[in-house]
Homo-oligomer: A and B are copies of this chain.
């Protein structure tokens, strides 16, 4: 059932708890809400199932979202293990915290697409999950992904998608089309 909605953009979300210990969790239900202001949201499961990330975001008001690529997918998946509160997943799985620009929450140094977010709102949904909405305040993207027209080609960062609870997939360009208009067929844009 949890595969039906389709492939998902899988990322590591980094937070820091009240005692200053870093936390990393795997999240894949992530949506783009708008460009101006730049808002990205994700679904946090019910607190009893996934308590640390949402609580740390409530405490600190800040977090980072970091794309996953094949070189560290196994370490990233290991972050989905239920470590006790106060365990630093960076240390446990062997990923590198990357502090920069006074953001005070670590990015994942190994990641090619890193985003810093400030909490906008947390909306509880009827089934016990939460929509966590953040303002994008910082973004770092590997240079190879930047196209001439501002298009960011995440196939060049090899950013992964996931399916179900345990399947990771790579993504390859198929086709870019021109802006669709009612009176004519779409044209092709090179990647």
Residues of chain A whose beta carbon lies under 8 Å from any beta carbon of chain B? 1-11, 29-35, 37-41, 43, 65, 67, 70, 73-74, 77-84, 87, 92, 113, 115, 120-121, 123, 125-129, 131, 133, 136, 139, 141, 151-155, 159-161, 163-182, 185-186, 189, 191
Q: Are A5 and B185 in contact (CB under 8 A)?
A: no
CA distance A180 to B139 in the complex (A): 29
Among A41, A121, A178, the one with the most B-chain Cβ atoms within 10 Å of its Cβ is A41
Question: What chain B residues lie within 8 Å of A185 (beta carbons)?
Answer: 74, 78
CA distance A65 to B5 in the complex (A): 9
Question: What chain B residues lie within 8 Å of A129 (beta carbons)?
Answer: 33-34
Q: 8 tightest CB-CB pairs across the interface, nearest first?
A: A6-B9, A81-B180, A3-B152, A29-B31, A5-B32, A80-B180, A34-B127, A81-B182
Question: What chain B residues lie within 8 Å of A151 (beta carbons)?
Answer: 3, 164, 167
Q: Given contact pairs A30-B31, A74-B177, A169-B173, enumerate 10 new A-B contacts (beta carbons under 8 Å).
A: A4-B141, A6-B113, A6-B154, A7-B171, A29-B33, A31-B31, A82-B182, A92-B182, A123-B123, A169-B172
Q: Are A33 and B125 in contact (CB under 8 A)?
A: yes
Q: Can you list 26 residue pairs at the A/B interface with Cβ under 8 Å?
A: A2-B32, A3-B151, A5-B30, A6-B10, A6-B11, A6-B154, A37-B127, A41-B125, A73-B175, A74-B186, A77-B180, A78-B180, A78-B185, A78-B186, A82-B182, A84-B182, A123-B123, A131-B131, A153-B167, A154-B163, A166-B176, A167-B176, A167-B191, A170-B171, A170-B172, A170-B174
